[in-house]
Amino acid sequence: MSVSMQGSKSTVNEYLENLPDSIHSKLYKSPATCLAIFRLLPSLSKFYIMTLIFTENATVSYPELNKWLRTSPQHHSNVSDALHVSPAKLYRNESLKRLKSLNLIKEIRRQITNPNTGATTSVLFFRLNPIFRDSLRNALSGGNTALGNLTNTAAATTAVVKDEEGDVEMQNDLNGMFKDENKDEIKISFLDKWSLSKWENILHFMVGSELEELPSVGVLSLLKHSGLMETHGKNDDLMNLDKNENKEDYVEDDVSTLQNMKITKEGFQFLLQDINSQIWMLLLQYLKISERLMMNPVDVLNFIFVLGSLELGKSYKTDSLSSTQKIMLDDLIDYGLIYQRQYPEDSERKDNHFFPTRLATSLTSDSKTFRSATQVMNKSINQFDKNNPSKDNGAIIIETNFKLYCYTDSPLQIAILNLFVHLRSRFSNMVCGIITRESIRKALVNGITAEQIIKYLETHAHSQMKKQAQEKLLRKIDFESSTHTNETSGRDGKNHFTPELEIIPPTVIDQIKLWQLELERIQTFRGFLFKDFNNDLEFEKLWKYATEIGVLLWKDINKRQFFVTQEGNLQVVEYANRMLRRQRSEQSTPQP
Amino acid sequence: MDEIADRVFQADDVSIAAGSSSTLQAFDESPSSLSLIIDINPLQWFRLKDQIDLKDLSRSICIYLNCHLSLNSSNKVNVLVANNFSDGEENGGSKILFPSIHTKTDEHGSSFGNSQGKNLVNPNMYRQFRFVDEIFLEELHSILQKEPTELNIKNFKNTLSGALSISLSYINKLNLSNDGLLKSRILIISVTDDDSLPYISTMNCIFAAQKMKVPIDVLKLDKKDGVNNSIFLQQATDATNGIFQKITHPKGLVQYLSTSFLIDSNLRSILILPTNFKIDFRSSCFLTKKIIDIGYVCSVCLCILSLIPKNHRCPVCDSKFDDKVIEKLLKKPVVGVSNTNGKKKRKINSVM
């Protein structure tokens, strides 16, 4: 789960990191957005921010930051100290890099005079972005009066504030409005059902199953623009697309051509991801389109992040939204992220309250809760229509002999399985198939990764398989702990062994991975080669630095060569220049 | 004391340190739960009245809880008080403030009680935070209301261990319902010296926490010249890989809380924990409850005694002590004759 989730998260992060500074500072004016962005950070970055947020000037020196870190791991068995770069350090660099690229911290160099010796040294300081700091402080402390003005500047914040204020009356008139649904319970399950059906409708459309109601044009063109689906006559359509792009208008695609789209490779990959990643992917695509439509990206992003902090089963007023956000509202309804009640007698008029669904509220939460959230979802849905067990995700059984059985009659799932399983027979409520080298290779060639296949199988495994795996794990842990207590040398780091939950037979997993490796004998990286060093010292310093900042790809000590990634090159070159300068100055001083 | 520090902790540390940075990144995802135990012994708070009062503390705590909740959207908190006053009825002892028993909460924690706390918390606050803060303040308020006007010293007993065991059971319950995905920790905000702390039950809690891999952090509020007397709490933090800090300048409490006590269980392996005390490993006499350097140990149940009981029977396991040995032990030392090699061995400085 974490892999695919990290995938989706990284795309979000990438998008955020690539935004210009001005947009960053606008974004950080909204406490809700700050909170959401904060939650997307690595734990160590969160820790750094938390330590800085309540200090007076929100600065900290780089050496001080390092002091908190336990740099030497407790074990150094066979790796010599010099060659070892601790993972903690790598993690720290990664965390700092993220903070910097999100513009959350700024580097400042300051001259510090040592009170004893009087010598001045330049020390690197980190300073928390003041806008971000104020907003997050606001969010944490509930806002104080001095910062109140700031809160009001961001449109999205006011929206939230208004929502909260109007909530009490809103609750009351809501109760009057739907007397049959005034219990929270029912509403939530209703929302779950509604949002999932909406979402599945989109997925069903992608695999081309028969649908009573096609997704809306907005959804269809989004699918097309994200490259998940393509229209039939490729050449014609490419031209069409170009034309459309020139006009900067995406809605004008012919509806009937859109409805006859075919799924692409990317689309298949998309299907294998978990819901949360799928939604993020579409939302990012939405962001890109919205930029082209001259929608304010700050408004759009704020709204997405605010959605994540709204509460399930509560209604919110639409009045307080900005015009951009009102446009978004309609689109998000199409994706099933938001529910808005429509009056049956008058389809044009819409209720001025909206309900975020679970798909929306779990946007900024982490994968594990979401998985449990989907489980809750499935549960509640199953309670609703017990005669439709196909919606239960846990239906796949795999045996160690690569045979696969799936209790389903949903064309969606069968279509997905067909991507990497050689299906043999189909019954009214199940399909049988076998995983072969050919079937997996077909999927791999289509761009689906082994990781994705395994994740899919794991998340959709039959409950019986999960149960068995858990029992096995428990037995293993028992066994381990019983042997461990007898061992006196349990601490040398080698004896520890953490048993993992193996839902899918390990043989199958390994084999799928091996089949992937068959195709990946050569990996390519873009980057830069460093060679022709003057001496060992220089060489060693440089490659160590490169490892520390995590950009080293390959090195050969004998040939004095190493290779770094494209992104890291600049940093390494700078470091090298600095080193050269220092050397020169050192050489020049003693001579005269 | 290394024996106390369970191997499970060490093994964990090594595996994390040895793992690649990607394993560390995987931890970013996991939610955690925080159990906060607040000591509200009125006498001790009175002692600290020049430096901090409960109001300041609760203000900081609100922000602290929000900080914890902000780390991950599925983070959980629960708050307990160790109320030292007990009148034998329902008010008294330890109590859970959040999640509240009085206010009905559904699974999303979205319903609000008839809150008086509402005017205490800014209504503009993010919902998830406001909900927790309101209930916390409200419940704390109602407990303080119930406090009788006349305080009888005799009614006081330290209920910290009770609060600890409640929070441990709460954590256990959470773990059961979350497939063990939730990492938990406990923070004790203590103002009381723990000579009054019941040794056995506290130690049992510590060992239970150790088995459950729940770090116990302790924030000790003390006067500037206060002698550090929280021996057991220090031992608790040491045994569970927790953080102990004695704070004598409580003005910047938020900073302490947001820095030292916001270290997630995941980060503990790579950060140097801000524990600045030499840990005192002494334990207390089972009979007199005094902390002792040298004492007697029952050879059967290992209970620690500062004096030899009159009936020559162990007060815990009721086994009869050997009269001869006792005689030997009671003998005043004579110069030049070694006489302390008995069955009752004297243990020096470390009884653990």
Residue A581: which CATH number?
A: 3.30.70.2610
A415/A558 same-domain check: no
A475/A509 same-domain check: yes
For residue A433, the model assigns a pLDDT of: 92
Residue at which a domain ends, from A102, A120, A153: A153
Cα B74 to the center of its chain, rounded Å? 24
Q: CB of A487 within 8 Å of any CB in chain B?
A: no
Residue A8: closest CA among A327, A273, A311, A362 = A273
| Residue A577 domain boundaries | 527-588
A353/A422 same-domain check: no
For residue A255, the model assigns a pLDDT of: 66
Q: Is residue A582 part of a domain?
A: yes
Sheet holding A59-61, edge to edge: A59-61, A120-128, A105-113
Q: By CA distance, what is A550's nearest residue in B?
A: B21
A561/A518 same-domain check: no
Does the beta-carbon distance from B264 to A47 stay under 8 Å? yes
A551/A565 same-domain check: yes
Place of tokens 């001095």: A146
Contact (CB, 8 A) for A374 and A200: no
Residue at which a domain ends, from A361, A395, A421: A361
Min Cα distance A306 → chain B (Å) is 10
Residue B129 one-letter amino acid = F
Task: Check pLDDT > 80 for residue A150.
Answer: no
pLDDT one-digit tens code per residue, A261-314: 777 777 777 877 777 777 888 888 888 888 777 778 888 888 888 777 676 777
Q: By CA distance, what is B67's nearest residue in A?
A: A140
- When CB atoms are compared, the residue of A31, A47, A139 closest to B263 is A47
Name chain A contacts of B262, Cβ cutoff 8 Å.
47, 50
Rounded to an integer, what distance in angstroms lies between the CA atom of residue A172 and that of residue A294? Answer: 38
ipTM computed for the complex: 0.77
A458/A540 same-domain check: no
Residue at which a domain ends, from A343, A361, A379: A361
DSSP output for A151-209: HHHSHHHHHHHHHHHTHHHHHHHHHHH-GGG-SHHHHHHHHHHHHHHHHHHHHHHHHT-
For residue B45, the model assigns a pLDDT of: 82
A432: pLDDT confidence band, cut at 50, 70 and 90?
very high
Backbone angles phi, psi at A13, to 5 degrees: -60, -40
A328/A348 same-domain check: yes
Cα A406 to the center of its chain, rounded Å? 29
Q: Is residue A390 part of a domain?
A: no
For residue B89, the model assigns a pLDDT of: 52
pLDDT one-digit tens code per residue, A48-92: 888 888 887 778 888 888 777 776 544 444 444 444 566 777 788
Does the beta-carbon distance from B264 to A43 stay under 8 Å? yes
Does the beta-carbon distance from A184 to B106 stay under 8 Å? yes
Per-residue pLDDT of chain B (352 residues; tens, 9 = 90+): 444 444 444 434 433 433 444 444 455 567 788 999 998 877 778 888 877 888 888 888 888 998 888 887 778 888 888 876 655 555 557 788 888 766 544 333 334 444 444 455 666 667 678 778 888 888 888 887 776 555 555 556 677 888 888 899 988 888 887 666 678 899 999 888 766 677 778 888 999 998 888 899 998 888 776 666 677 888 888 888 888 888 887 778 888 888 888 887 777 777 787 776 677 777 778 788 777 888 888 888 888 888 888 888 888 888 888 888 888 888 877 666 555 554 444 544 544 4
Q: Is residue A348 part of a domain?
A: yes
Min Cα distance B269 → chain A (Å) is 8
Min Cα distance A240 → chain B (Å) is 43
Cα A454 to the center of its chain, rounded Å? 18
Q: Is residue A171 part of a domain?
A: no
Q: Is residue A568 part of a domain?
A: yes
Using CA atoms, how far residue A514 sits from A367, A397, A504, in Å, is 27, 21, 15
Residues forming a β-bridge with A461: A396
Buried b (16+ CB within 10 A) or exposed e, A327-339: bbbebbbbbbbbb
Residue A358: closest CA among A342, A343, A379 = A379
Q: Is residue A131 part of a domain?
A: yes
For residue B155, the model assigns a pLDDT of: 58
- When CB atoms are compared, the residue of B13, B28, B124 closest to A143 is B124
List Cβ neighbours of A369 (8 Å cut-off, separation of 6 or more): A362, B31, B73, B74
Angle at which helices A155-165 and A323-335 cross, to 10°: 70
A135/A28 same-domain check: yes
A430/A537 same-domain check: no
Residue A228 one-letter amino acid = L
Rounded to an integer, what distance in angstroms lies between the CA atom of residue A548 and that of residue A568? Answer: 11
A298/A340 same-domain check: yes
For residue A286, the model assigns a pLDDT of: 85
Domain count, chain A: 4
A26/A99 same-domain check: yes
For residue A389, the model assigns a pLDDT of: 38
Suggest the residue from B14, B176, B257, B262 to mutate for an interface test with chain A (most A CBs closer than 10 A): B14
- Kindly report the CATH number assigned to the domain that includes residue A46: 1.10.10
In three state form, how does the secondary structure of A2-60 look? HHHHHHHHHHHHHHHHCCCHHHHHHHCCCHHHHHHHHHHCCHHHHHHHHHHHCCCCCEE
Q: Which stretch of DSSP H or E encloses residue A134?
A: helix A130-141
Q: Is residue A11 part of a domain?
A: no
Task: Name residues 36-55 of chain A within 8 A of B (Cβ).
Answer: 38-39, 41-44, 46-47, 50-51, 53-55
Buried b (16+ CB within 10 A) or exposed e, A75-97: eeeeeeeeeebbbbbbbbbbbbb
Place of tokens 């034309």: A243
Contact (CB, 8 A) for A404 and A397: yes
For residue B186, the model assigns a pLDDT of: 92
- State the Cα angle at A263 between A259 and A268, rounded to 5°: 145
Contact (CB, 8 A) for A463 and A394: yes
pLDDT one-digit tens code per residue, A442-498: 888 877 788 888 888 887 888 888 888 888 888 888 887 777 655 444 444 444 455
- Mean pLDDT for chain A? 71
Q: What is the DSSP letter of B169?
A: H
- When CB atoms are compared, the residue of A50, A314, A365 closest to B258 is A50
- When CB atoms are compared, the residue of A6, A90, A312 closest to B21 is A90
Does the beta-carbon distance from B130 to A142 stay under 8 Å? yes
For residue B92, the model assigns a pLDDT of: 58
Task: Name residues 327-366 of chain A within 8 A of B (Cβ).
Answer: 364-366
Residue A338: closest CA among A287, A300, A295, A304 = A304
Q: CB of A69 within 8 Å of any CB in chain B?
A: yes
User: How many inter-chain contacts (A to B, CB under 8 Å) are there?
Assistant: 177
A191/A131 same-domain check: no
Rounded to an integer, what distance in angstroms lies between the CA atom of residue B156 and that of residue B144? Answer: 15
Q: CB of A505 within 8 Å of any CB in chain B?
A: no
Name chain B contacts of A87, Cβ cutoff 8 Å.
17-21, 23-24
Q: Is residue A552 part of a domain?
A: yes
- Checking DSSP bridges between strand A431-434 and strand A422-426, what pairing results, if any? antiparallel
Does the beta-carbon distance from A47 to B262 stay under 8 Å? yes
Task: Name residues 424-463 of chain A within 8 A of B (Cβ).
Answer: none
Residue B128 one-letter amino acid = Q
pLDDT one-digit tens code per residue, A336-368: 888 877 655 554 555 677 787 877 777 765 444
Helix (H, G, I), strand (E, B) or coil at B73: coil
Task: Check pLDDT > 70 for residue A247.
Answer: no
